[in-house]
Structure 1
Amino acid sequence: MNFSFLSDFSSYFINGTVVTLFISLITVVLGAVLGTLLALLKLSGNRFLRFLASAYIEIFRGTPMFLQILIGFILLYGKIPVPRISIMNVDLSLLLAGLIPLAMNSAAYVAEIIRGGIQAVDKGQTEAAYSLGLKQSKTMRFVILPQAIRNILPALGNEFVTVIKDSSLLSAIGVAELVFGATSVQNITYIGLEPLLAAAMIYFILTFTTSRLLGLWEKKLNKGM
């Protein structure tokens, strides 16, 4: 094994790691916002809204993410009216063309996480809120969601770990994340295996560290329960 190339090409891996973390964080935030909306629609009393939310979730969970990214790239790249600027050496239009499909896919899974967290709250809480004169919207906002957060947050953390790995698929459309950086080093140095192993080790460090931190956070949330 020869990893001497790291001294000359470490910037490819460092920049790729930063872009990967940035994409993952933005994806989870956008996915959480859209996923919350989808979860509330799926729990609503309107049959049509429930159908729309269910259809969205089933489509994005039932088709490959890689295919969704390719379709999103064709539909979005160069068609979003944004300034011609780069963020961390990635063209903004290209970044959005990858981020949006990734976030929409994440939202489908987050929606089920949030729906499960809401339904895990004892129904007596809802009945008690109604007996106090609270409307459905305020009951959800002030009574149900605050209690559901305890169940939702650890699962959202696990979704973040998943997105870190799934963001590697954006290398297929030219987003300069970690895998793209590793393959660029391959093309420059003509070294086949070692750049991929270096990227794999970085992914492992990121996901392992994040998982351990989430485990500690979950223990803190459950302390005293």
Structure 2
Amino acid sequence: MESFFRFFPELVNGLGLTLSLFVLTLVCSIPLGFLCSQAGLSKNKVGRGVYLAYVTIMRGTPLILQVCFLYFGINLLLTTLGVPADVFRLDRFVGAFIAFVLNYTAYFSEIFRGGIQSINRGQYEAASVLGLSKSLTMRKIVIPQVFKIVMPSIGNEVINLVKDTALVSLIAIEDLMMLAWSATNREASVMPLIVAMVFYLAINAVVTLVLRKIEKRMSYYRI
């Protein structure tokens, strides 16, 4: 019990960092994913080509590799260019955050692209006949239906994001996973890992509940 009170405050601090990365990634990647999906639907070949290359790289390589590449790769490049370490170096958390946003933006953009393409073209034509602009059609007619369609897929990615945050321990960020593993080695006990598991399960339980509430609220938009 004494060891529990030693490592528990550490895990709570790590939980705060894990939640920060989770929330910031989610807040940035969902809107960016929707915007990027427009490039995938664009008639511009260059735009579609850039989008396809970006999505292929982000979805075709492991997230853990992207985290390492962004943090170590950018800092190594700065060193090679002769930029002094006291002038600028990419922070560990910032590097992980950028990697997570780029990765999840790619996944969300493909989800949104599929959702938009599933909308019957007749609805666009009907909106045009009624005199609605393209932006108004997208905002009032298409987007509500798209979010209803893609919510289960988005929910799966959000749950994956909670678990993927543990990858940042590889670059020595003191998140929940890293502190739990450190406490396990120090205390020679699996209890810190069990507590970390409970924390992850609790986060995902709350996320699942929120997602179900959102889906229920959006059940008005039936197609």
Q: Under TM normalisation by the shorter chain, which class is it? A: 0.7 to 0.9
Unmatched runs of 5 consecutive residues or more in structure 2: 79-85
Alignment correspondent of 1:196: 193
1:136 Cα offset (Å): 4.0
Distance 1:122 1:140 in 2: 13
Q: Which has the higher helix share?
A: 2
- Give me the whole-angstrom Cα distance separating, in 2, the residues matched to 1:62 and 1:204: 28
Give the equivalent residue in structure 2 for 1:24.
22
Mapping 1:114-125, distance limit 5 Å: 114-125=112-123
Tell me the CA shift for residue 55 of structure 1: 1.4
In 1, are the aligned partners of 2:55 and 2:106 still within 8 Å (CA)? yes
- Per the TM alignment, residue 114 of structure 1 is displaced from its structure 2 partner at its CA by 0.9
Is the 2:111–2:154 contact (alpha carbons within 8 Å) kept by the matching residues of 1?
A: yes
Q: Quick one: percent identity of the two aligned structures? A: 33
Aligned-residue RMSD, C-alpha: 2.6
Map 1:60-99 to 2 at 5 A: 60-77=58-75, 93-99=91-97
| TM-score (normalised: structure 2) | 0.83
Task: Give the whole-Å Cα distance in 2 for the aligned partners of 1:161 and 1:143.
Answer: 28
Tell me the equivalent position of 1:129.
127
Give the alignment partner of residue 107 of structure 2, picking from 88, 98, 109.
Answer: 109
Q: Deviations for 1:130-153, whole angstroms, at most 9, x for unmatched residues? A: 334455445434432233222234
> 1:44–1:50: 8 Å Cα contact kept in structure 2?
yes
2:47 and 2:94 map into 1 onto residues whose CA distance is: 27
User: Which range moves more in the overlay, 163-172 or 134-143?
Assistant: 134-143
Contact 2:71 2:90 in 1 (8 A): no
Q: CA deviation at 1:59?
A: 1.2
Determine helix, strand or coil for the equivalent of 2:173: coil
5 Å-filtered alignment, 1:8-23, equals 8-23=6-21
Q: Would you say the 8 A contact 2:145–2:221 is kept in 1?
A: no
Structure 1: state its 5+ residue gaps.
85-90
Q: Distance in 2 between matches of 1:32 and 1:67?
A: 22
Query: Letter of the aligned partner of 1:194 in structure 2?
Result: M
The 5 Å alignment of 1:101-180 reads 101-180=99-178
CA distance in 2, matches of 1:141, 1:219: 20
1:6 maps onto 2:4 in alignment: yes
Which residue in the other structure is 1:44 paired with? 42
CA offset at residue 184 of structure 1? 2.5
Deviation at 1:76?
Answer: 3.9
Residues in 1 aligned to 2:196 and 2:33: alpha-carbon distance in whole angstroms: 30
TM-score by length of 1: 0.83
Look up the SS of the partner of 1:34 in the other structure. Answer: helix
